[in-house]
């Protein structure tokens, strides 16, 4: 074995052991001591993560409650607009918007549009650094499932989740925050284009429920507000949240219930949200203005 090879293996061996816990712990292994617990440890600072449901969850719900035959795509952001997004902020937000549009076309079985939106998502994904998450073979999977909306939805969900993970893994927090914001906003924009105000309409109720999701989203944006682009989007979303805060909340009196032996527990209590037509229309107007300001459309 020559000197270089010896050096190589020595370094790899040393690295491997250092990764197994450091010098102090190595000593514990040698002596056979258990992990010491007598001395009080300082607990790491508790952290709260604020999570946001995917746009696909909202769109699937809308389809389920009565939109199965909907094929309208006129309100989506046209793929032709992609060339207008030249800065990081607009690229990231519109990547989220186009990803949501792709989900919409897939969930509603608008196959030919799915292909167009996938190509746009792929192009923009390459620009914001998630090229590894959106592999070219996905296009082949989409093409071979063009008439099967369930399969299309699964494939496009994978694209969204893979992009999300790629941004998380590469520590691109601000970009991720903008993508999530764009995706959520577009899902709400689509919902408001498909639903008119009706009391007790499931879609309108679900839109009112977005108050909670928006609160989480604003908290998520706050974690990355040192980035100027995120800070400006956070300010926009706080303005929208002010409108959502006009939705009234009432205690739900129903208590936890369920038959003995039921596998699924029922969580009682909580709040029910009540949205008036006036508040609904104000929110719809705000969403439209905000969304179009990001897509640079009217």
Partner 1 sequence: MKYFITLFIVAVISSSLFSQAGVCGNFHKKYCVLGNDKGAKWQYNAQSKSGLFNQGMVSKLRCVIYKGMDYRISVCCETVLGDKVSYKIFDSRTNELLFDNSTSEDTQSFEFQSVSTRQLIIEVVVPQGATEKDKHKATDAACVGLLIEHKITDKQGFSAY
The residue ranges that bind partner 1 (CB under 8 A) are: 3-4, 7-8, 11-12, 15, 19-21, 25-26, 28-29, 32-35, 37, 41, 43-44, 46-54, 57, 61, 64-65, 157, 160-161, 164-165, 168-169, 202, 206, 209, 212-213, 215-216, 219, 252, 254, 263-273
Is the CB of 53 or the CB of 78 nearer to partner 1? 53
Closest distance of CB 249 from partner 1, Å: 8
Q: Cα(98)–Cα(155) distance, rounded to whole angstroms?
A: 15
Q: Cα dihedral sign for 215, 220, 224, 228?
A: negative
CA dist 120 to 40, 50, 59, 185, Å? 55, 29, 20, 18
Is the CB of 267 or the CB of 296 nearer to partner 1? 267
C-alpha count within 13 angstroms, C-beta hemisphere, residue 4: 0
Closest distance of CB 118 from partner 1, Å: 19
Is the CB of 90 or the CB of 283 nearer to partner 1? 283
| DSSP character string of 29-42 | HHHTPPPP-SSPPP
Backbone angles phi, psi at 18, to 5 degrees: -65, -30
Closest distance of CB 267 from partner 1, Å: 4
Q: Are 276 and 256 in contact (CB under 8 A)?
A: no
Is the CB of 136 or the CB of 270 nearer to partner 1? 270
Closest distance of CB 83 from partner 1, Å: 29
- DSSP, res 75: T
Is the CB of 57 or the CB of 225 nearer to partner 1? 57
How many other CB atoms are found less than 10 A from the CB of residue 84?
11
Closest distance of CB 209 from partner 1, Å: 4
SS3 string, 173-223, reads HHHHHHHHHHHHHHHHHHHHHHCCCCCCCHHHHHHHHHHHHHHHHHHHHHC
Closest distance of CB 69 from partner 1, Å: 18
Is the CB of 22 or the CB of 285 nearer to partner 1? 22
């Amino acid at each position: 074995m020559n000197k270089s090879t010896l050096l190589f293996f020595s370094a790899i061996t040393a690295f491997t052991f250092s990764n197994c816990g450091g010098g102090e712990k190595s000593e514990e292994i040698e002596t056979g001591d258990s992990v010491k617990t007598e001395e009080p440890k300082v607990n790491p600072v508790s952290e709260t993560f604020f999570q946001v449901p995917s746009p696909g969850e909202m769109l699937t719900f809308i389809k389920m409650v009565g939109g199965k035959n909907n094929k309208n795509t006129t309100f989506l952001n046209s793929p032709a607009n992609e060339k207008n997004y030249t800065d990081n902020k607009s690229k990231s937000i519109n990547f989220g918007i186009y990803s949501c549009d792709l989900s919409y076309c897939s969930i509603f079985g608008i196959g030919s549009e799915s292909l167009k939106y996938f190509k746009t998502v792929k192009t923009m994904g390459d620009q914001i650094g998630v090229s590894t998450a959106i592999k070219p073979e996905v296009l082949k999977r989409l093409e071979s499932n063009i008439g099967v909306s369930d399969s299309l939805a699964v494939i496009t969900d994978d694209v969204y989740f893979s992009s999300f993970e790629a941004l998380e893994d590469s520590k691109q927090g601000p970009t991720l925050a903008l993508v999530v914001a764009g995706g959520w906003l577009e899902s709400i924009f689509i919902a408001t284009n498909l639903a008119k105000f009706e009391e007790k309409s499931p879609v309108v109720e679900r839109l009112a429920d977005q108050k909670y999701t928006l609160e989480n989203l604003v908290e998520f944006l706050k974690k990355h507000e040192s980035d100027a682009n995120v800070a400006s989007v956070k300010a926009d979303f706080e303005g929208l949240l002010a409108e959502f805060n006009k939705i009234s909340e009432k205690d739900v009196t129903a208590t936890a219930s369920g038959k003995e032996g039921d596998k699924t527990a029922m969580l009682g209590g909580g709040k029910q949200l009540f949205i008036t037509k006036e508040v609904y229309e104000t929110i719809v107007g705000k969403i439209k203005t905000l969304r179009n300001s990001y897509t640079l459309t009217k």
